[in-house]
Amino acid sequence: MIEIKMPRLSDTMEEGAVAAWHKKPGERVEVGDVLVEIETDKATMDYEAYEAGTLSEILVAEGDTVAIGTPIAMLDNGKDSPAPAPAPAPAPVEATPAPEPAASVSPAPSPAPSPAPAVAASSSRTVSRAVPENRGADGQFASPLVRRLAREHGLDLSGIRGSGPGGRIIRADLDSLVGAPAGPATPAPRHVARPVVATGPIVDARRASQEVPVTKARRVIARRLSESAQTIPHFYVTSVADAEVLTQMRADLNEQAVDKDLAKVSVNDLIVRAVALALREHPEVNASYLGDDSKVMQLHNRVNVGVAVASQHGLVVPVIVDADLKSVYEIGAETKSLAAQANGKGLSIEQMSGGTFTVSNLGMYGVEEFTAIINPPEGAILAVGATTREAVIVGDQIVPRHRMRMTLSADHRIIDGALAAQFLRTLTAFIEHPWRIVAAEA
Amino acid sequence: MTIKTYRQALHDTLREEMLRDENVFLMGEEIGVFEGSYKITAGLLTEFGDKRVRDTPIAEEGFTGAAIGAAMLGLRPVVEIMTINFSLLALDQIVNHAAKIYGMFGGQAKVPLVIRTPGGGGQQLGATHSQNIELYYAFVPGMKVVAPSTPADAKALLLAAIRDDDPVLFLENLALYNTKGDVPDDDTPAEIGKAKITREGHDLTLIGYSRMAYVARNIAESLAESEGLDIEVIDLMSLRPLDRATLVESVKKTHAAVVLEDDWLTYGIGAEIAATISDGAFDYLDAPVRRVAMAEVPMPYSKNLESAAMPTNDDVVNAIFQTLEAVGRRLKKVGQSHD
């Protein structure tokens, strides 16, 4: 009997939630099978079985959160497995090296029907074990290439029947799903019963609704945003900043940048830095509510500003750690490289962890103003609109000025209206006197 | 370009390098008066005299050690060890001296030594004279081990080996000496540590060196014709340093690999290649890396048994077909002879 424990899936993880069990008690588990989906603070990850056996008991139900190391299930790896294996595959024995093939056996692959000799798979983390080549048909084996493609395309492999040796899912099995231009065939979804939105009788197949798999990333976004919107009492404070000097200064900096071959500064880089400086003045905004059961709330002394990025894979929020200690150029370079990585191989959990405040900027799309949903456990998020020229009354004159609208969404449980307003006033002052953003002490 | 045998390419390159650099000299058993067991050094004693073409006693440890000393003092000895089997008698000199002197003594002396030696079985020379033990040297930091499979590569790699300041084990092969090919007339050395893609393809990566690189090319060509397969072939050329990048990049493209080696499977060079691929291209593999190697026995003398012990073309074709079937290709002719 083996205790399956809540794994540590990232360095900062302290507890994890069981998002979904993929196996039921009594079900057979093979090495590499996805046992359970574990949700950390930033992502949901598959947790695979390191040992074969039968899942005998589930100790932590779906939705429950427990600390790392807490047993979440019991796996029976007893030698008296219910269905005797057809081949004389050695039963997995803990801490016993796999039997070596006899030295006299010709190791060159032979056309004989017997599978290649099982090879001991061992790593420093797991005990050595013999891995039989042939698996049951319900074993979810997929080649590494297939696993990667599934990750990249958000495919659910559970509905796919592998045609490779031992039922392994191979690249050819994905032909109809990956890269097929007009293929409506999506893998059979795991949950059969699901609501279908009817858009009326289908006259033209091209105008029928399509079913697109919900990627893991999308599922995480959905879950977290619902949770935030449903549980956090948001309130909103909007302020308009005069961005005339900021616009001028940025143009100036970038003119210099072209001459000196330096990177250009974006409005967002300046805002991130301004936010970081304003948070330093108002640490109560740089705070986290820890739940109704907690007797304390957290005020963060580090200022880690998340930047919402619309990546190819959906919304992600990479974190600029210690943004108050970084120059505008450093923030710009880091944001650029994180965004590139988000579009490429994707960001690591570490790169999306530890944020204390988020900036979401839709100004580049011409959005005038909007409200954002707080990214828990942060206390607030700033939604930044476009910088536009407006007619403004200065003295008795109507003059054209650059203006920018910013809306703070705050968690009202820990941030009062006056505090939010003071924070915005400080931030507005930075925007209106932008040299302070650049000149402020790191 | 001139068409030459592998043997002739080696001979001509040795001669050219002796003409180019008076520090280059040859040592070995029967290389002078007898002109070499495999006639690589034919005519060189007459042309260069016995100061630069030295017949030695049957004492591998002694003459290899003498060559190491000469190399440390600035000469560029090219030692012929009659077959790689006899290099075992010089193992201590090669492993503990040639490979380590530069590092152990803080770079005070270099050892620009070349050891030319043929491997390869299949000549009914029995268990002790039919081994492929280049792995022993490829295992040792401080050594370089190169293994050409064509006359052109024999020339380019021998030029590189002689001009290299580190000890180089230059692996020849009995079965390749009479193979012919175009050899460039200029003296551009190869880059030691670079593998060569000798045939581009998309279906599978077939990897070999020395004789097995030759086998790989032939089989890939024949399968292209008979089955329409598009196999990429990599000739390792150098076992140490090993060009891991080329292997990984190729498998990222083809998603499957078969490694051919004339030595034994267990702990063999194929294992290192397979580990390299699993390390660098894991997420691109659609099937396990397969290896084809010799049977794990001392090489039998009997011709039938010797042939059975060596990896045959059928073994290679089977491994290729099994791998392709594992990635979903449906092929008919498994096991058909391609000899």
Cβ distance B166 to B112 under 8 Å?
yes
Flag if B322 and A106 touch (Cβ within 8 Å).
no
What is the reported pLDDT for A348?
Answer: 82
Tell me the nearest-neighbour CA distance from B83 into chain A, angstroms.
25
Which residue of A170, A176, A177, A345 is the best one to mutate when testing the B interface, meaning the one whose CB has the most B CBs within 10 A?
A: A170
Closest CA to B236 of B282, B268, B266, B264: B268
Nearest to A108 among B266, B285, B311 (CB): B311
Kindly tell me if the per-residue pLDDT of B334 is higher than 50: no
List, for residues B80-93, the tens digit of each pLDDT value.
999 999 999 999 99
Nearest neighbour of A104 by CB, restricted to B296, B319, B329? B296
Q: For residue A1, what pLDDT band results from cuts at 50, 70 and 90?
A: confident
pLDDT of A349? 80
- Which chain A residue has its CA at the smallest distance from B310's CA? A108
B47 and chain A in contact, CB less than 8 A: no
Are B282 and A144 within 8 A, CB to CB? yes
pLDDT of residue A182: 33
Q: Does B224 touch chain A (CB under 8 A)?
A: no
Confidence of residue A198 (pLDDT cuts 50, 70, 90): low
Enter the DSSP assignment of A185. -
DSSP string, A327-356: -HHHHHHHHHHHHHHHHTT---TGGGS--S
The amino acid occupying position B262 is D
* 8 Å CB contact between A265 and A255: no
Chain B residues with CB-CB distance to A107 below 8 A: 265-266, 291, 293, 295-296
- The answer to whether residue B285 neighbours chain A at the CB level (below 8 Å) is yes
**pLDDT at residue A87 is higher than 80:** no
What's the rounded mean pLDDT across residues B258-278? Answer: 96
Lowest model confidence (mean pLDDT) among A310-319, B52-61, B254-263: A310-319
Q: In this structure, are residues A197 and A179 in contact, taking their beta carbons and an 8 Å threshold? A: no
Q: Chain A contact for B331, CB < 8 A? A: no
Least CB-CB distance to A171: which of B282, B297, B328?
Answer: B328
Residues of chain A in contact with residue B338, where contact means CB-CB under 8 angstroms, are none
What average pLDDT score do residues A53-64 get? Answer: 86
b/e burial code for range B133-144 (CB count within 10 A of at least 16 → b) = bbbbbbebebbb
Q: What is the pLDDT of residue B331?
A: 73
Over residues A52-68, mean pLDDT: 86
Which residues make Cβ contacts (< 8 Å) with residue A203, sequence separation at least 6? none
Please provide the DSSP assignment of B290-335 as one string.
Answer: EEEEE-SSPPPSSHHHHHHHSPPHHHHHHHHHHHHHHTT---S-TT
The per-residue pLDDT for range A257-288, each reduced to its tens digit, is: 887 877 889 999 999 999 999 999 999 999 99
**Two tokens, residue B29:** 């058993």
Local confidence band at B170 (pLDDT 50, 70, 90 cut-offs):
very high
Chain A residues within 8 Å of chain B (Cβ atoms): 103-111, 143-148, 163-165, 168, 170-173
Q: Are B70 and B24 in contact (CB under 8 A)?
A: no
User: Per DSSP, what are the bridge partners of residue B32?
Assistant: none
Predicted pLDDT at A200: 65
pLDDT of residue A442: 66
The most distant pair of C-alpha atoms in chain B lies apart, rounded to whole Å, by 63
Least confident window among A118-132, B149-163, B232-246? A118-132
Contact A111 B328 (CB under 8 A): no
Distances (CA, A) of A115 to A107, A171, A261: 12, 21, 61
Residue that wins the pLDDT comparison between A265 and A205: A265
For residue A15, give both structure tokens.
Answer: 């507890």
Whether residue A234 is predicted with pLDDT greater than 90 in this model: the reply is: yes
Q: How many CB atoms lie within 10 A of CB A297?
A: 16
Mean pLDDT of A250-256: 89
B115 forms beta bridges with B79, B169
Say whether pLDDT at A131 is over 80: no
Cβ contact A111–B290 (<8 Å): no
Catalytic residues of B: 60, 129
pLDDT, one tens digit per residue, over A5-28 is 888 776 667 788 888 888 888 888
pLDDT confidence of residue A211: 80
B297 touches chain A (CB under 8 A): yes
The neighbour count for residue B5, using CB atoms within 10 Å, is 17
Nearest to A164 among B291, B295, B328 (CB): B328
Whether the predicted pLDDT of A185 surpasses 50: no
Identify residue A389 by its one-letter amino acid code.
R
How many Cβ pairs closer than 8 A exist between chain A and B?
Answer: 69
The whole-chain average pLDDT of chain B stands at: 95
Q: Which residues pair with B205 in a beta bridge?
A: B232, B257
Tell me the range of A45-49, A117-121, A432-436 where mean pLDDT is highest: A432-436
Q: For the ranges A166-180, A316-330, A416-430, which has the lowest average pLDDT?
A: A166-180
Q: Which residue of B has its CA nearest to A168?
A: B326
> Residue A280: which of A432, A426, A434, A431 has the closest Cα?
A426
A13 backbone dihedrals φ, ψ, rounded to 5°: -70, 130
Q: Per-residue confidence at A189, pLDDT binned at 50, 70, 90?
A: very low
For the stretch A393-405, pLDDT in tens is: 988 999 999 999 9
Contact flag A111-B285 (C-beta cutoff 8 Å): no
For residue B295, list chain A residues with Cβ-Cβ distance below 8 A: 106-108
Dihedral sign computed on CA atoms, order B64, B68, B70, B71: positive
Which amino acid, one-letter code, is at A194? R
**pLDDT at B118 > cutoff 90:** yes
Please give the Cα distance from A41 to A8 (Å, whole number). Answer: 12
Q: Which residues pair with A66 in a beta bridge?
A: A16
Nearest CA distance, B290 vs chain A (angstrom): 8
pLDDT above 70 as % of chain A? 78
**Percent of chain A's residues with pLDDT above 90:** 36
Given 3-state DSSP classes, what are the helix, strand and coil percentages for chain B, each rounded to the nearest 5?
40, 20, 40
CA of A91 to nearest chain B CA: how many angstroms apart?
A: 22
Strands (E) in chain B, as ranges, are 2-5, 24-28, 53-55, 76-80, 114-119, 144-146, 168-173, 180-183, 196-199, 204-208, 231-235, 238-240, 257-264, 290-294
Domains in chain B (CATH in brackets) are 2-183 (3.40.50.970), 196-327 (3.40.50.920)
Per-residue pLDDT at A102 exceeds 80:
no
Mark yes or no for CB contact B334/A111 under 8 Å.
yes
Q: How far is B267 from chain A (nearest CA, A)?
A: 12
Residues B48, B102: contact at Cβ < 8 Å?
Answer: no
Alpha-carbon distance of B90 to B66, in angstroms, equals 11
CA distance B113 to B165: 8
Nearest residue on chain A to B298, alpha-carbon basis: A104
Place of tokens 């140490």: B240
Helix (H) or strand (E) holding B70: helix B60-72
pLDDT at A139 over 60: no
Q: Tell whether B266 is within 8 A of chain A (Cβ).
A: yes
Amino acid B157 reads: L
What separation in angstroms does the CA of B331 have from each of A134, A330, B219, B328? 21, 57, 16, 9
With CB atoms and an 8 Å threshold, state whether B318 touches A111.
Answer: yes
Q: How many CB atoms lie within 10 A of CB B108?
A: 9
Residue of A143, A160, A168 to mutate, interface with B, max B Cβ within 10 Å = A143
Question: Could you give the CA distance from residue A128 to residue A130 in angstroms, rounded to a whole number?
Answer: 7
Q: Round to whole Å and give the CA distance between B213 and B147.
A: 10
Lowest mean pLDDT among A300-304, B59-63, B216-220: A300-304
Instruction: Report CB contact under 8 Å: B286, A107.
Output: no
Question: Would the pLDDT of A56 be above 50?
Answer: yes
Asked whether the predicted pLDDT for residue B178 surpasses 60, the reply is yes
Residues in chain B with CB shorter than 8 Å from the CB of A146 are: 286
Instruction: Write out chain A residues lying below 8 Å of B256, CB-based.
Output: none
Other beta carbons within 10 Å of A16? 27
Out of B255, B292, B335, name the one closest to residue A111 (CB).
B335
Residue of A nearest to B256 (CA): A145
Please report which residue ranges of A261-319 form alpha helices under DSSP H: 267-281
Tokens of B181: 């090919």
C-beta atoms of A165 and B326 within 8 A: yes
User: B108 — contact with chain A (CB < 8 Å)?
Assistant: no
Q: Using the beta-carbon criterion (under 8 Å), do B322 and A168 form an inter-chain contact?
A: no
The larger pLDDT score, comparing residue A261 to residue B164, is at: B164
End-to-end Cα distance, chain B: 30
State the DSSP H helix or E strand holding residue A73, giving kind and residue range, or none if neither. strand A71-76
The CA angle A109-B293-A130, to the nearest 5 degrees, is 55
Residue A125 has pLDDT above 50, yes or no: no
* Residue A88 or residue A380, greater confidence: A380
Sort strands B204-208 and B257-264 into parallel, antiparallel or unpaired. parallel
- Any idea which of A19-28, A192-201, B226-235 has the lowest mean pLDDT? A192-201
> Cα A96 from chain centroid?
38
Mutate to test the interface with A, among B258, B265, B266, B286 (most CBs of A within 10 A): B286
Q: What is the pLDDT of residue A306?
A: 95
Which residue among A110, A147, A170 sits closest to B328, beta carbon to beta carbon? Answer: A170
Please check whether residue B247 is in contact with residue B280, taking contact to mean a CB–CB distance below 8 angstroms: yes
- The crossing angle, in degrees rounded to 10, of helices A267-281 and A328-343 is 120
Lowest mean pLDDT among A241-245, A275-279, B335-339: B335-339
Q: Which of B283, B322, B327 sits opposite A172 (nearest CB)?
A: B327
pLDDT tier at A107, thresholds 50, 70, 90:
very low
User: Cis omega before residue A71 (within 30°)?
Assistant: no
Question: Strand, coil or helix: what is B215?
Answer: helix
Interhelix angle A417-432/A244-260, nearest 10 degrees: 50
Which of A234, A402, A412, A433 is catalytic? The answer is A412
Q: Report the residue of chain B nearest A152, measured CA to CA.
A: B283
Alpha-carbon distance of A390 to A242, in angstroms, equals 10
